[in-house]
Structure formats: C-alpha cells, structure tokens
Amino acid sequence: MIDNHIHPVLGDYTPRQSQADYLAGFVHGGVTSAVSAGEVHTPGRPKDRAGTKALAILAHKAFADHRPLGLRVYGGALLLEEGLTPEDFVELADAGVHLVGEIGISGVKDPETAATMTRWAHDVGMSVMVHVGGKSVPTSRAIDGEYCVQVQPDIAAHVNGGPTAPTIDDVKLILDQSSSAVELVYNGNQRAASDIAALLAETNQLDRLVLGTDSPAGAGIAPAGIMRLLATMCSLAKISPASAIATATGNTARVRGIPGGFIRIGENADLVIADAPDGGQASDMASALEFGDTPAVAAVVIGGEIKVTRSRNTAPPRRTPVFPKLIE
C-alpha cells in the first residue's frame, strides 16, 4: 500500500509531534511506500528561492538512501515560493525532484501564480498537489473547487478535509471541470470521506481516487490510517474491498508515476499479508473491511525481504503466516 500524503522532515523523526521511529511504524500498519506532500514542518524552513530548492533536493536525495524498516519514502516535494522561475524547475527535475508539495501551505497562494508554476512543473514531468478545504495551519489558506479548477493539479489533496472538508459541490466541480485525481485522508472528515467514496463509485470514477493519512498532523500520526480509510470506504460507503484496495495501491502508483502498487512481473516485491483481527466477527481481511474493523497486518515484505512478522500497530491476525526456508 502507498500513503499518498505525508509531511516528513529528515530521518525518522517529526518535530510536529516530537516523535521518532514513526515512519517505521507505517510499515507495521501495512504501508510499503509513502509520498511527501512537502517538508513543511522543517524547523526554520527556508522560504526564499534558493532555500526552498535546496530543501527539496536535500530531502529527495536523503530519503533515496534512508529507508526506515525498508519503507520507500518519496521525499523532496518542492514548496512553492515567490521568485521561482521555469529554469528552477528544470534544475530541480535534473536533480531528481519530481514532486511539488501541497500548494496552499507555502508562500505561493494566489491561483494565477500557482497555475503558472503548475504548468512549469508539468513541463518537466513533476506531479502537483493542491490543498483543498479549510485552513490546516495559520499560514495556509482555505481553497475551494474553483481554485483547484483554475490550477489544474494532478491531485486535489484531502477533498474530505485537511482537516476541514469543503462542500460536496466543490468536489463535484473538481471532478467535472478538471482531470485531477482526488484524495481522501485519514486525518480528515470521515463522514465526508464516506460520502465522496460513494459518489465516486456511483459515477464510476474510483480510478481517480487515491488515499493518504496527512501525517503528521494536529490529530497525530496514523500508522494504520490507510487501513482505517479502507474500512470506512467498505463499511460505510459499501465499496468492494478489492476496489478499495486498488485506490491505495495501483491508483496512487499510476497517478504519482512511481513504481509499485501492482502484483506483476517487474514490479517492486512489496507485499502485505493481512487477515481478520483475532477475536472479531470477520473471517478474512475483506470481511474485516466490510465490518469496519482494521485488518491485522500479519507480515510485510519490501523489496523481497520480510520486514514485519508481527505488527506493533494492529491487532494479531486470526492466522499466523508460516515462512518456509527458501532452498537455493
């Protein structure tokens, strides 16, 4: 599974909640890859042109080599600030940066400038997110559907609120007048998440849905947040488990242009073995999601290596997987 929306800093520590080892905790929640929406919580985050570029390049290169418990972290999401030029986006792309952080939480907030810089980002192959909904922090701004339509990002972030949800009409406007994928997050409005998931199913647009946790946030860090979102979709919006899981795997890989998300030859060997939690009503992972229970992570494999055999962040599974020794 891929968490489409995290706000890391550097290393496996976040000053937002003064917590270490939280990224490794996501692996225990069944997440094998996570995508940065911007390193906005960096203490003393630079907001000038040179500094915001330097932070994106540093985070991208640092997380390319730092993988907590094997977690693939796609870091280095450029936070848009005034003064950036088309040449800056070319420079960043040449350095490997392929993400633009959540527009609306950094210096560039007006839709005209945001739309122009989004075009520059698209010209060099970057994916772009826009914050949708009410203010998340004092320096952010409320953003509605009209703003998102004007900017035309790849992803309309947390359309169920980050943490405050926009209107359902805003979501419909984004769906009708843009090609953007829409994102649901755990640290958002869960009633809105259910309503939006049902709307996407009714209109046959689940292929446009991706999932994230928006962690760390004021509501905390949610290592099993993607599992909880799947349970919300299946139990309340009546989405089939298979379709729900696809939104947290292949959809995100496709929208973000990153490896993984599919079980097929040539893909990352990143697999989650999950079951119904022991002592519950369900008999397997799918029925657990339909009941609204958090599935039990029984094992996690990343890059073909077993990283977790007993999750610290979910209940124990009904059945324990057995790993026979491989014979060369």
Query: Where do the DSSP E strands lie in the chain?
Result: 2-6, 13-14, 19-20, 33-36, 72-74, 77-78, 99-103, 127-131, 155-157, 181-185, 209-212, 271-275, 296-302, 305-308
Residue 140's pLDDT is what? 63
Q: Which residues contact 35 (CB under 8 A, 6 or more apart)?
A: 2, 3, 4, 5, 6, 74, 77, 99, 212, 252, 256, 258
pLDDT tens per residue across span 280-289: 999 999 999 9
Instruction: Tell which residue, 141, 165, 161, 160, has the closest CA to residue 151.
Output: 141
Question: From first to last of its 328 residues, what are the pLDDT tens digits of the chain?
Answer: 999 999 999 999 999 999 999 999 999 999 999 999 999 999 999 999 999 999 999 999 999 999 999 999 999 999 999 999 999 999 999 999 999 999 999 999 999 999 999 999 999 999 999 999 977 666 666 899 999 999 999 999 999 998 899 999 999 999 999 999 999 999 999 999 999 999 999 999 999 999 999 999 988 899 999 999 999 999 999 999 999 999 999 999 999 999 999 999 999 999 999 999 999 999 999 999 999 999 999 999 999 999 999 999 999 999 999 887 755 5
Contact 151, 117 (CB under 8 A): no
Query: What's the Cα-to-Cα distance from 312 to each of 31, 260, 297, rounded to whole Å?
Result: 13, 24, 9
Amino acid at 95: A
Domain 2-256: homologous superfamily in CATH: Metal-dependent hydrolases (3.20.20.140)
In whole angstroms, give the CA distance from residue 288 to residue 79. Answer: 39
Q: What 3-state class would DSSP assign to 20?
A: strand
Report domain extents, the chain: 2-256
CA 82, 86, 91, 92 dihedral sign is positive
What secondary structure letter does DSSP report for 15? T
10 Å CB burial of residue 283 (0-12, 13-18, 19+) is exposed
pLDDT tens per residue across span 300-312: 999 999 999 999 9
Structure tokens at 110: 């007006």
